[in-house]
Structures are given as structure tokens and as C-alpha cells.
Chain A
């Protein structure tokens, strides 16, 4: 408890919580306003260099793509306004619902598993040990290994008849081990396992950086208070990592909903449509078949889902900070 309070010591200066308390003091009101204008100016000068590039090369094209969701456009001629027709087609399409379901299943499996493993690895590797640099690099290796190699080796491991995974399962007494990538029911779990294996090193890097920001004093204080390692983990590490966790969760959610490369190389959406995901649908329908209006409509839906999840997480994070 002590540590919590110390970490959350009231901040002075242009901090959100501080501002709220200031607003209540009437005498400060005018200076406050001036300060607000100054802050706005200062804030924008910091943001501007990045924002200009972001606005011109990302935001505008994204908005243009959203506008296309209400049009019919083959990319060869002028777009034609069709209102909600693309959305009607989407809601009535099996392929869309299957892809949406697969994407959600993928995200639900991929996000928590990767999160926990990345944090665990970061804790394990956040120490001074001989050769720790080597181990850190090694954990990052899956992320830089060619996807084709990843797909071939994992598919071999998952091989239904003579793959090591199923041989092990049979050894421990599973009579009918799953068919993994060649079975409609088990292809998605196989993809999730592979992607967790591949991504955990990436997010470990982020946690590793986050762990550096925790002041050592907090642990010392916790130790003085007689906190057990477990208590220290829950009361110091986890709350201190909250901003990092927010980042990791949002990035994981976003990347899960956008997953593309790994699935294309590993199963290409198959067998059948068992692992087809939304971004594949967007790619196929859009640049593959020239139905850019429809593919934009699907992206808009994908965007709204992810945005909802993100805003929820943002609100939760802000509430916790208070």
C-alpha cells in the first residue's frame, strides 16, 4: 500500500489531476486560462512535426478510404455513390461473418497468451546475467525468422500423423490427437499457437523497456514493508507497468484484428474458410477483385470494432490512474 501512495504522489504542474484541483480555486481562474492557452501552444509545437506527416500521409488517405465505403469504385473510373449498399451486401455475406468470427477467435486467443508470456519473459530476462544479451536476441529471433521457415517448421510440428506434437500427445494418452492445420476445427488453434510463439519476443522488448522505468526505491520500500515477492509483483510491478500494459494490449488487439501475413503463409485461410480473417477479405475483395467500396466498408467495420475496444481500455486506464 505504501508503495502505491508513493508512486501516485500528487503531481504539480500541468498534469491532468492537478488541473482539476486548480479549476476549483477561483482566484487562479484567469491565470489558469492564460496558462491553458500557453499549454495548448506548447503542446502543439511538440506534436506538430509528427502530426503534419501523419495528417498528410496517413489520416487523409484513411478518411478517403472510409468515404469509399459508401461508394462503388473499381479504381479505374470515378467512384459512384451507393449509400449503404456495401454494408447491406456485407451483412448478408457468409464470408464476412465467418471472417469476423475467425478474427475475434484469433484475437481472444492471441492477446492474453502473448501478453502473459511477453511479461513473463521480460521478467525472466530483466536481470544482470552473463550472456543475457544473447538470450534477449534469441527470444526475438522468431520475429525476424522468415515467415516461410516458420510456416514450414510449425506445419511439420503440427503434422497430424507423424508430427512431434501429436506423437507427444499420443504418448501421454490422447487417443485421437487433433488434425491441426489440416482440420477445420483445429487450424485456428494451431495458427494462434504459432503466432503467440512468434510475437512474444516482440512484446517482450516493450515490457523490458517498461520495467526499466520502475524506480528501484519502490521495491526497496516494499521490501522494508515486508512484502513478499508475489505481493511486490502485484503491488509494485503490475501497477507501475500499467501504461506499458495499456500500450501492449492495444497494439496486440490491433495487430490481432489486422493479422494477415502469418495466416497467408501458414494456411492461406484454409482449410476451406477455417482461418480466413477480415484483413484477407479486405485484401482479396479490394485490390484482388477491384471492389474497393466493399473492402472499405469491411475496413470501416474492423476499425469501429477495434476503436470501441481501445476506447474502453483507455477509459479503464484513465480511471485507474485517478
Chain B
């Protein structure tokens, strides 16, 4: 008897809980749109941890009192997967943020996005970095508001202690030379590496492609060779942390630089604001600066690489016109200023905006850092094509094998070419 009663209670409890339905407890319920206001929904990743979104939305709402922006908050890790699933289900979110150009090409070529040439025509095309990436045979389906590029971060104190000059506009050979000289032991007995190159393949491959005009989805990768030789040479000499260790220990580039374990570090411009924040909170005391990404040879243009982030209009958007207005604003001067204020690099690059950017607290004030902030050319990290995703996978796998010493450089490069030709280009 007792047991049946128990089961009955459990059942009743379950049913009761089930009926009360959405007992969603975390945070306030969504506020209903106020009278006469348009609610524009925008898909974003990690809303709390990515302040640029809030900065943009607040500024836009202030400028357009009749619009309420509702962020659709998605985790950064699997953002594209979730967006794909939502869209498959016929989701009606108005504005979709394109985290990278690979996803952009997939959504655009499958007809999931609205063409926005009318918006792009009104933009300052000259100064809008990364816009070309979104050009699909003359049609634009998104406009960039943010464009990161790669720089060389360095630890000024370590340079001073070694009596070396700051790495102003150096070549990769000079970089390797410096790195070797800087490797040693710090005062507290910890090892100091001359440089830290994170495990991403872009650190070798995108650099090589950008500075040699190489095609990353072309199937011929001989232009990787010099960059691989240099990197492996540094790794062999203990100037660079061993790839296997860095990868398996999930080594954080922030830890490496912020704890003074490395003298130099090529990294993206997104790190500027994170580092400044860590400095402000007293979580690091490294005396930092940034310089231009090292070049292939002396005296030419400064060529770096990066990838733009853009807004696009969903095919099923409920407020297409409002969405287009928002995109135009975000890619324009006001949008750029709104995010530059908080240390995010806008796609629109003018002297005005750079000045706004360097007002940020904690930024190095030296001339070199300012100079480094204006590279001559920013190549695209990965070309926009429906072949990009599959190629990216192959290049990553073969990159690991070369870096782990399982394949020689020549064999690895040959294998990349062969696999890309067989599996992707065929």
C-alpha cells in the first residue's frame, strides 16, 4: 500500500511540476515590447562576456528610441551549430551575427540571408576593412562592423633587461634571432620562452598565405615551407614551447604572456582590450607593448591577416527594414565609435576612430604601438568559399602532424595538397 502511495505521489508531483511549465528561474523574464516600439532580435554569442554587443545595442537604442534590441544569447563555443539548427527550424531572429566568414559563405550561398547591396552602397567602402570578404559575385549579404588583425605583443621589461631594442618592424628572421636571445630563466627561476606561438594553424599558415599571396584553398601549399622551418627550428631549440605540451595541456596564451613567461607573442588585436582589463584589475603587471606582425622581408608594406565579424539579415526576419538600418549604423562611424570606446577594433578605420580607440585606459602610449595599429594590408584569414570548412579541417589535421614531428615539412605540405585536391576540390 505504502509503495503505491509513494508512486502516486511521485507521479502527481511530476505532473504538477510539468504543468506549471516554465519555471525558468534564472534572471528576469523577457520584457514585453513597449507600445509603439519595434523589437529587433539579434543573435549574439556570450552576451555577458562580449561587451561589444551591449555597447552597440545601448548606443543604437539611445539614437533610435523607437527600437528595442533583444539579444538572442548563444554560447560562444558552439555558436554556428546552434544558429544552423535554429535556422533549420525556421527561426525568425532578425539580425544574425556572422562569427566568421566560413559560416557566412554557407548561409549566404544557401539562400538563408537577404541581399543588402542597398545598405553596402551607403557605407564608407574605402575605409571599411574586410568588406571585400563579403562580396559574393557582386552581391553582399552582410556588412562587417569589427575587424581584428594580428600583431606582435612583447614584454618591454624583458627586452630592457636583455638590452635589446624593441621589435619595431622586424622580419621573421630577426624575430627568430630575438626569440633565441630572449630565452632563458627569469629571476624567480621560471623558464622564460623567447616567444609563444599558440597552437592554431593560422600562426603558420595564414601568416604564410598573407605575406606570400598564397591561396589557402588552392591545393598547393609550398609557400608554407619557410614559416614551418622557422617555427620548428624555434621549437627544437626550446625557444618555443613544445607543440604537444602546449596542445595537450591546453596552454593558455594569456597565462604565457600575463605571467611573463614569454618575451614575445604574435596574437590578434582582440587581446588588446582583454590585456588592458587584466592590467586594470591587477591580475598582471607585465609592462607591455605591441608592434607590427613580423614580415617576410624588410622595407615593404606591413601585411597582416585577420577576420571580420559582420551582421546579416535573416531570410525569415520579421523586421527586415529595421534590421538593415541597424546594420548600416553598426558599420558606420557611430557604430565604430561605440565599440572603439571599449577597446574593440572596428572594421571602419579612420584617424578619428583610432584616436578614440587609444583613449582606452591601460593601452601602451608609445609611438610603436600606435603605428602597429595601422597595418597597410590585412589579408583574410581564410577565403570565403563553400570549400573553406572542409579545407580548414584538413589543414588543421596536417598542421598537427608537422608540428608534432610526425611528418616532415615536405611530406606534410605534399599531403595537405593531395588531400585538399582529393577530398575538397574534386
Contact = CB atoms under 8 A, between A and B. Distances in A.
Interface of A: 74-77, 93-95, 148, 151-152, 155-156, 158-160, 179, 181-184, 267, 269-273, 284, 287-290
Interface in B239-257: 243-245, 247-250
Interface in B344-389: 389
**Considering residues B244, B248, B401, B419, which has the most beta carbons from chain A within 10 angstroms of its beta carbon?**
B248
Interface in B384-423: 389-390, 393, 397-398, 400-401, 404, 406, 419, 422-423
A46 to B, nearest CB: 14
A155 B248 contact: yes
Contacts of B393: 284
B111 A76 contact: yes
Contact of B112 (A76, A93, A270): A76
A93 B423 contact: yes
Given A75-B85, A76-B111, A182-B247, 16 more contacts: A74-B110, A75-B84, A76-B87, A94-B422, A94-B423, A152-B250, A156-B248, A159-B245, A160-B244, A181-B244, A182-B248, A183-B406, A267-B248, A269-B397, A284-B393, A290-B110
B106 interface: yes
Contacts of B390: 289
B25 interface: no
Interface string B236-276: 00000001110111100000000000000000000000000
A272 B400 contact: yes
A91 to B, nearest CB: 14
A290 B245 contact: no
A132 to B, nearest CB: 26
Contact of A271 (B84, B404, B422, B423): B404
Contact of B406 (A95, A159, A272, A289): A272
Name, among B81, B244, B398, B406, the residue most crowded by chain A CB atoms within 10 Å (CB to CB): B244
B249 A290 contact: no
Contact of B250 (A93, A148, A158, A184): A148
23 contacts: A74-B106, A75-B85, A75-B88, A76-B87, A77-B110, A77-B111, A94-B419, A151-B248, A179-B244, A181-B248, A182-B244, A182-B247, A182-B248, A182-B404, A184-B401, A184-B406, A270-B400, A271-B404, A272-B400, A284-B393, A287-B84, A288-B81, A289-B106
A41 B250 CA distance: 57
Contact of A76 (B81, B88, B245, B401): B88
A172 B244 CA distance: 25
Nearest to B419: A94
Nearest to A285: B390
A269 B400 CA distance: 11
Contacts of A75: 84-85, 87-88
Contacts of B389: 288-289
Contacts of B81: 287-288
B401 A272 contact: yes
Nearest to A283: B81
A158 B110 CA distance: 44
B404 A290 contact: no
A77 B316 CA distance: 13
A148 B252 CA distance: 13
Contacts of A267: 248
Nearest to A291: B390
A273 B389 CA distance: 16
A92 to B, nearest CB: 9
Query: Of residues A155, A158, A271, which shows the largest number of chain B Cβ atoms within 10 Å of its Cβ?
Result: A271
A270 B88 CA distance: 30
Contacts of B249: 152, 155-156
A269 B393 CA distance: 11
Given A184-B401, A288-B81, A159 B106 contact: no
A182 B402 CA distance: 11
Contacts of B406: 183-184, 271-272
Contacts of A74: 106, 110
B228 to A, nearest CB: 15
B141 to A, nearest CB: 13
Contacts of B110: 74, 76-77, 290
Given A75-B88, A288-B389, A290-B84, A271 B250 contact: no
Nearest to B243: A182
Given A93-B423, A148-B250, A182-B404, A270 B397 contact: yes
Contacts of A184: 401, 406
A290 B106 contact: yes
A159 B112 contact: no
Nearest to A190: B248
A318 B81 CA distance: 43
B145 to A, nearest CB: 24
A77 B110 CA distance: 7
Contact of B398 (A155, A160, A272): A272
A183 B248 CA distance: 12
A74 B406 CA distance: 36
Contacts of A288: 80-81, 389
B74 to A, nearest CB: 14
